[in-house]
Structure 1
Amino acid sequence: MRKTLLAVAIAVAGATTVVPAASAAPNTLAWGPCPAGAFPTPDLQCTTMKVPLDYRDPGGRTIDIAVSRLPSKNPAKRRGVLLTNPGGPGGGGLDYPQLLKLVRMPPDVLDSYDIIGFDPRGVAHSTPVTCDLKPEQIAVGNLPYANGPADVVKQAALAKQEAEQCAEAKTGSMLPYLTTANTARDMDRIRAALGEAKVSYLGASYGTYLGAVYTTLFPERSDRFVLDSSLGPGGYDIDAMRGFARGMEDRFPDFAAFAAAHPEYGLGTTPARVTAKFHELAARLDREPVEGVDGSVFRGLTFQGLYVTDLTQLAKDWQGLDQGRAPKPPEAPVTGVENLLASRFAVICGDSAWPRSIASYQVDVAVDRIRYPLLGAASANISACAYWAPPAEPRVRITGHGPANVLMVQNQRDPGTPLSGARKLRAAFGERARMITIDQGGHGAYLFTPSKCGNALVTEYLVSGKRPDDTFCAAGS
């Protein structure tokens, strides 16, 4: 349904617990063909390995982790493995190495590493979880826009039902263990199974927090770490969720200027008029949805459209809705979206404690509607996390303890992971990190955007180990 767009759109640290070190023997993975899927993976090799569900009980129940490998074809230049994660939480990463190759990851990087992907625990081919969400629940979307306190109460009832379904589903017993810290421990099991003393890493979006947690838990096993489009040091907590609204405010002026410069879309001849059109369309669609697209879905569609560099499709979608035509949603099987949402809930709600008072969300919604009028009353709304079981362990605290091996790369106007959060992570890492800031918009900086400056600096670090100082890349450079 059309409202699935919002679920996908807003999709896409405490004391550290000591756990047993990874003990898998070197080179224990048997590689073969990858699972059949919609994304072609002709160069990839895949395998499945077992890991403990609960690392506090390493001899207990195990789950599957699906792993992929894009091998270096130049043994003379190969220096190790590069683990990857494309973000989420809730998204699979098995085909990500192939995608990186298709977007022209530089040959020097492909030669230097075996590129490793994996589906995180609970996702896709890695013992997937379910919340038994029905199509009509998926259609509500993730955190619909609240026009007032009553809408928060209405959403609270839906959120409570979602949390109860997750707990009562056949995979409910797995939920306490689907955390970022445990996924990081899975990564260390992958490292050990590959026979590597250390791993390098490339993570985007939520993958930045996963990488930050890994290099905090296992600093001595971390080689060159690149974090692209970073969450803050608290990960995907309530601050990050509310941060979506800040990110949309940062990025939206780029679209308003684009639409105003292209009068053929009929969205306004000045940025101010394009902004007024946004609010007009949202209010109109709240009253009279177009093929299932109401104001909440429109806001989510716009938020998602701001992720990319080319804003043409978003302008076309607005034009169509203004004329009574709904955009075609991306094809995605309900089962895939259901697993995405279920595993997303598990990680976000299990990583940190969320407020439980409906009144606190009503206050946040009222504040953020004024502070961030484009999306604030949606991103501050209540979710299933308000009704989740308390976290099973303290959140990992990101600090400056460890080797100086982290390179962050960040767009100035990123809607999904705003610059404000990245700066907080940079500060938490202290001398461990350096950050490249690029004067451009969109979500994702390395390879997926045209900054020659940013791309070259990241590639040089991955290949040679030369890490730049904190650097600003000007627009177009």
Structure 2
Amino acid sequence: MRRVLSVGVAVILLGASLVPATAQAAVQWGACPANYPAGLECSTLMVPLDYRRPDERQIEIALTRLPSKAPAKRRGVLLVNPGGPGLPGAAVPVVLELPQSVRDSYDVIGFDPRGVGRSTPLTCNLTEAQSAVAAAPPYPLNSADVAKAAEIAKTVARQCTTSETAELLPHITTANTARDMDRIRAALGEPKLSYYGDSYGTYLGAVYTTLFPYRSDRIVLDSALPPEGYDVDALRDQGLGFQERFPDFARFAAADPQRYGLGATPAAVTVKWFQLTKRLDQAPIQGYDGTLFRTIAAFYLRAEFYLKDLAELMHALDTSRPLPTARKAAAVDDRGSFPVGHLAVICGDSRWPTSVRTYQTNVAIDRIRYPLYGAWSANIRPCAYWPAPATAKTRITDRGPSSVLILQNERDPATPLRGAKRLRNALGAKARMVVVDQGGHGAYNPAMNACGNAAVTTFLLTGHRPPRDTFCPAESVAPPA
């Protein structure tokens, strides 16, 4: 999710000079593949693989457009990114469920970042088993488990950095994706770019507005990473986020002990969590081991309407009853690129510790600091065996017009408020921040806090933000059905 200070200004100036203000060719829109949501138009754009050598090898970026249906109200383009990194963004203009007033005001543009989905792909030639653990290793119960994960991580890193697409890896970075975004802007004939980014997409947006401050129009960062992006510290912060979010779930489950059978108080639900995870770590139950269960739980904590699913799953596993029907996630056309695209960015953006002993120590520390989940997010990743980043990391600064709005849930399990506050401070006077008294990951949602939603919609439509950082109180919402 989150580096170099002394060369930050040079990187900013270099980044701004690498991409021309006008593109060589306009985007030609056409039909999308059959599995894409209705209403989208598709195209591609060629961009330099290496922006230091813009006339050499070009790679393809897949684009989508949800065009405004109200030409008289259209004011520009709104580029959107769902985070990850490694997630394709082609379907996001539809999946995001933007208010109609925003859709009328913008052509909403999605794109698969370089190396992902239908853009020029990466490969590590991973087996199915390797793909399952490449970006998410098993939950470590002890130092020996970290050592085992290190061997898997080493193998994955070797396969990625020696594969037939290895020459692309040094160029699959957040800064280069931001430069691709400016190429998209120019190809669309727009003098400025408005943007909505969620999760890792907040760091991408912060890098864009740092590299191109005077081409940034209205920049919305929802559920923000720290200013260093998705690095080892941001990953470990997920242990903190889980710890801060879990009490919401415990209160939810305790409010209906007859239905969920997890306890009549939040404390009892928490005890049940530790009892169940201990059992699952010793032996799987109905196909769930401790790693899979924690992974699913972390996903369910990201949205209020999934709390019921987590409570039902816990109850079924605890009592050996039939498992509830799992919700189906929205279809994503990533062509199996997620693990590789994810690793390429997080490993290529940042330096990670290289000592297995460091990760063993971190796991031991976070097992105590964040006992609900922290040991998992402290475990070793293939980044420990990745080549050093090829270029200096972009330092986020306050340079340029005041054009950023950060929206942040108070109890976000994936990108905790602590990191979002640090990004807010790095952006300085160019940003405002709205904190919402609710849990979950992703705050701009029609089913969530009206105060937070209104702040974003008003900014996108009018350019007006709160005059100062502000707080949205909790709102009562109907419990999940």
TM class, shorter-chain normalised? over 0.9
SS in 1 for 2:304: coil
Kindly indicate whether the alpha-carbon contact (under 8 Å) linking 1:86 and 1:96 is maintained by their aligned counterparts in 2: yes
SS in 2 for 1:216: helix
Which segments of 5 or more consecutive residues in structure 1 lack a partner in the other structure?
1-10
**1: CA distance, partners of 2:142 / 2:74:** 57
What code does the residue aligned with 1:135 have?
Answer: E
CA offsets 1:24-67 (integer angstroms, 9 cap, x no match):
53771110011232xx4221111011011111111111111001
CA offsets 1:106-127 (integer angstroms, 9 cap, x no match):
2221111111110000000001
Kindly indicate whether the alpha-carbon contact (under 8 Å) linking 2:409 and 2:417 is maintained by their aligned counterparts in 1: yes
Kindly indicate whether the alpha-carbon contact (under 8 Å) linking 1:49 and 1:66 is maintained by their aligned counterparts in 2: yes
| Counterpart residue number, 2:20 | 22
**1: CA distance, partners of 2:327 / 2:459:** 38
What code does the residue aligned with 2:356 have?
Answer: I
Moved more, 184-193 or 126-135: 126-135
What code does the residue aligned with 2:143 have?
Answer: P
1:344-423 alignment, distance < 5 Å: 344-423=342-421
**2: CA distance, partners of 1:399 / 1:35:** 40
**2: CA distance, partners of 1:448 / 1:383:** 36
1:232-247 alignment, distance < 5 Å: 232-247=226-241
Aligned-pair distance for 1:234? 0.5
| Counterpart residue number, 1:267 | 262
- Taking a change above 3 Å as real, the CA distance of residues 293 and 452 of structure 1, as seen in their structure-2 partners, is same
Kindly indicate whether the alpha-carbon contact (under 8 Å) linking 1:133 and 1:338 is maintained by their aligned counterparts in 2: no
What code does the residue aligned with 1:91 have?
Answer: L
| Counterpart residue number, 1:471 | 470
Aligned-pair distance for 1:405? 0.7
Aligned-pair distance for 1:331? 7.2
Which segments of 5 or more consecutive residues in structure 2 lack a partner in the other structure?
477-481
**2: CA distance, partners of 1:429 / 1:334:** 32
Identity between Structure 1 and Structure 2 (%) = 56
SS in 2 for 1:203: strand
| Counterpart residue number, 2:141 | 147
**2: CA distance, partners of 1:36 / 1:22:** 34
| Counterpart residue number, 2:75 | 79
**1:318 aligned residue (314, 322, 326):** 314
**2: CA distance, partners of 1:304 / 1:224:** 29
Q: TM-score, normalised by structure 1?
A: 0.93
Kindly indicate whether the alpha-carbon contact (under 8 Å) linking 2:112 and 2:119 is maintained by their aligned counterparts in 1: yes
| Counterpart residue number, 1:432 | 430
**1: CA distance, partners of 2:246 / 2:117:** 33
Report the number of matched residues. Answer: 461
SS in 2 for 1:344: helix
Kindly indicate whether the alpha-carbon contact (under 8 Å) linking 2:222 and 2:408 is maintained by their aligned counterparts in 1: yes
What code does the residue aligned with 2:473 have?
Answer: A
What code does the residue aligned with 1:173 have?
Answer: E
Kindly indicate whether the alpha-carbon contact (under 8 Å) linking 1:250 and 1:414 is maintained by their aligned counterparts in 2: yes
Kindly indicate whether the alpha-carbon contact (under 8 Å) linking 1:290 and 1:326 is maintained by their aligned counterparts in 2: no
SS in 1 for 2:63: strand
**1: CA distance, partners of 2:331 / 2:38:** 23
CA offsets 1:58-103 (integer angstroms, 9 cap, x no match):
1111111001111112222111111110111011101100112xx3
Kindly indicate whether the alpha-carbon contact (under 8 Å) linking 1:285 and 1:294 is maintained by their aligned counterparts in 2: yes
1:300-311 alignment, distance < 5 Å: 300-310=295-305, 311=307
**2: CA distance, partners of 1:83 / 1:394:** 25
**2: CA distance, partners of 1:36 / 1:154:** 42
| Counterpart residue number, 1:125 | 118
What code does the residue aligned with 1:210 have?
Answer: L
| Counterpart residue number, 1:343 | 341
What code does the residue aligned with 1:445 have?
Answer: A
1:64 is the counterpart of 2:63: no
The structure 1 segments of at least 4 consecutive aligned residues displaced by more than 6 Å after TM superposition are 331-335
**1: CA distance, partners of 2:449 / 2:42:** 32
CA RMSD of aligned residues (A): 1.9
**2: CA distance, partners of 1:23 / 1:334:** 32
| Counterpart residue number, 1:160 | 154
